[in-house]
């Protein structure tokens, strides 16, 4: 590979990485259960019957017109969440004029693997979800 | 020493706005459904596991800024652990699962425009709460006072005078914890000595001493039995 092609690949990879939305877990698992998000690798481990709230942001603002779907709702169900802009724990101190927060609730169904696809006007991403047996 | 009833309003003040169990997103407070007079119940929240086989009516208030509580639906994240019928949790099996608190989203109405009975993927999750179900290992009888408070478990035997009344409630326990939930309990006693009235409160009876004598009030629920001996004495002028 020529140096120029390699440089183009690096630039393309950097641009692609910049298009990824950021994911943040808003809740924690109860004792003995698992509900964790790896925000770098974009994967989630979740106990059966346990819910986890995840927020999508893009360059510090809520992902716009965000939508999430599950490849297998029997394994992981995804529902939109409503979170007040003023709720304590809001990491980026929204004001009332800001976009609504883009929050999704993942609910562990039967044990297995599934993919949650998150799309928005800003950027898209997918989350690998592993649902574990109940605690 | 019994808890002085006049202190109940101060108990509410002392707990500030924190009434009930706060949801994972901090936007709701959940309590067992209680009469307004039972302030201790109203501020306690879901502060123990629900007994397997019992049911627990709940009430949820939304605490978001600038909005009253919207129409809500409760959804079990694992019906094998507990199911939900309207506002009542039915504990099915020992375990742990989340209870989703949802409100109708776009498209959450049927063809007639009525709300759909079950939450759909378009419904909005306002909050959720992790709920435990545990199997009871003991059943204890508690006395319900006129203030609605239940004292510590009854002793094995008690004395009453003819005409005295006593309201008992059977409560499930596991180890040191009193579990939550209403039980379908069966009460038995000698009808020659006491009359037991079912006043429509699950797991509870009002017992009226009618004649001198001794009887054992036997209570059975969740395949566990408990009893208290009542000795009824004649009132002598």
pLDDT for B102-128, tens place per residue? 998 755 445 555 544 444 567 899 999
For residue B208, CA distances in Å to A30, B60, B168, B169, B186 come to 45, 36, 11, 14, 17
* Residue B151 clears pLDDT 80, i.e. is over it: no
Among all residues of chain B, which has the CA nearest to that of A88?
A: B26
Rg (CA), chain A: 17
Q: For residue B174, what pLDDT band results from cuts at 50, 70 and 90?
A: very high
A28: tokens are 């924690």
Cross-chain Cβ contact A105/B100 below 8 Å: yes
Dihedral, B40, B46, B48, B52 alpha carbons, nearest 10: 120
d(CA B138, nearest CA chain A) in Å: 24
The mean per-residue pLDDT over the stretch B48-63 comes to 91
3-state SS of chain B is CCCCHHHHHHHHHHCCCCCCEECCCCCEEEEECCCCCCHHHHHHCCCCCEECCCEEEEEEEECCCCCCCCCCEEEECCCCCEEEECCEEEECCCEEEEEEEEECCCCCECCCCCECCCCCCCCEEEEEEEEEEECCCEEEEEEECCCCCECCCCCCEEEEECCCEEEEEEEEEECCEECECECCCEEECCCCCEEEECCCCCCEEEEEECCCEEEEEEEEECCEEEEEEEEEECCCC
Helix (H, G, I), strand (E, B) or coil at A59: coil
**pLDDT tens digits, one per residue of A36-88:** 999 999 999 999 999 999 999 998 888 998 999 999 999 999 999 988 755 54
Answer yes or no: is pLDDT of B23 > 60. yes
At B45 the pLDDT is 77
pLDDT in tens, B219-235: 999 999 999 999 999 88
When mean pLDDT is compared across A50-54, B33-37, B58-62, B138-142, the lowest value belongs to B33-37
In a mutational test of the B interface, the residue from A28, A51, A109 whose CB has the highest number of chain B CBs within 10 Å is: A51
Q: Which of B97, B103, B105 minimises the CB distance to A49?
A: B97
* Pairing label, strands B50-51, B124-134: parallel
* B61 chain-A contacts, CB cut-off 8 A: none
Q: Residues of A numbered 43-72 whose beta carbons fall under 8 angstroms of chain B's beta carbons: which are they? A: 47-51, 53
Report chain A's mean pLDDT, rounded to a whole number: 83
Q: Cα-Cα-Cα-Cα dihedral of B178, B179, B181, B183, to 10°?
A: -70
Question: Quick check: B200 and B188 in contact, CB under 8 A?
Answer: no
| Interface confidence (ipTM) of the complex | 0.83
B190 versus B151: the higher-pLDDT residue is B190
Mean pLDDT of B9-28: 63
In B, which residues are within 8 Å of A85 by CB distance?
Answer: 65
In chain A, what are the domains?
20-132 (2.60.40.1080)
Q: CB A49 to CB B80 under 8 A?
A: yes
Residue B130 and residue A33: Cβ atoms within 8 Å? yes
């Amino acid at each position: 590979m020529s140096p120029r092609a390699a440089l183009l690949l690096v630039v393309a990879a950097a641009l692609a990485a910049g298009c990824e939305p950021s994911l943040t877990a808003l809740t924690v698992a109860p004792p003995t259960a698992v509900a964790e998000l790896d925000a770098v690798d974009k994967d989630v481990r979740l106990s059966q019957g346990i819910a986890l709230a995840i927020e999508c942001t893009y360059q510090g603002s809520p992902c716009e017109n965000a939508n999430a779907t599950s490849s297998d709702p029997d394994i992981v169900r995804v529902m939109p969440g409503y979170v007040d802009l003023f709720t304590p724990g809001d990491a980026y101190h929204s004001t009332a004029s800001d976009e609504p927060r883009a929050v999704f609730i993942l609910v562990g169904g039967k044990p297995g693997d599934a993919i949650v696809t998150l799309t928005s006007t800003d950027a898209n991403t997918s989350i690998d979800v592993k649902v574990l047996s109940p605690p | 020493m019994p808890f002085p009833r006049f202190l109940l309003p101060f108990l509410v003040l002392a707990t500030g706005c924190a009434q009930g169990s706060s949801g994972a997103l901090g936007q709701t407070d959940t309590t067992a459904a209680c009469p307004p007079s039972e302030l201790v119940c109203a501020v306690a929240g879901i502060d123990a596991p629900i007994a397997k086989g019992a049911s627990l009516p709940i009430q949820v208030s939304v605490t978001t800024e600038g909005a009253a509580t919207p129409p809500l639906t409760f959804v079990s994240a694992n019906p094998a652990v507990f199911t939900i019928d309207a506002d009542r949790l039915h504990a099915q099996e020992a375990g742990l699962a989340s209870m989703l608190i949802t409100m109708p989203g776009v498209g959450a109405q049927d063809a007639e425009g009525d709300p759909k009975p079950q939450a759909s993927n378009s419904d909005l999750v306002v909050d959720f709460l992790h709920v435990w179900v545990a199997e009871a290992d003991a059943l204890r009888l508690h006395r319900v006072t006129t203030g609605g408070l239940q004292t510590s478990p009854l002793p094995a035997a008690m004395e009453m005078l003819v005409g005295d009344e006593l309201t008992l409630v059977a409560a499930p326990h596991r180890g040191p914890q009193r579990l939550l939930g209403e039980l379908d309990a069966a009460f038995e006693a000698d009808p020659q000595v006491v009359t037991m009235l079912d006043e429509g409160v699950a797991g509870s009876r009002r017992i009226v001493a009618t004649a001198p004598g001794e009887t054992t009030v036997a209570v059975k629920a969740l395949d566990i039995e408990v009893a208290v001996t009542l000795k009824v004495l004649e009132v002598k002028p």
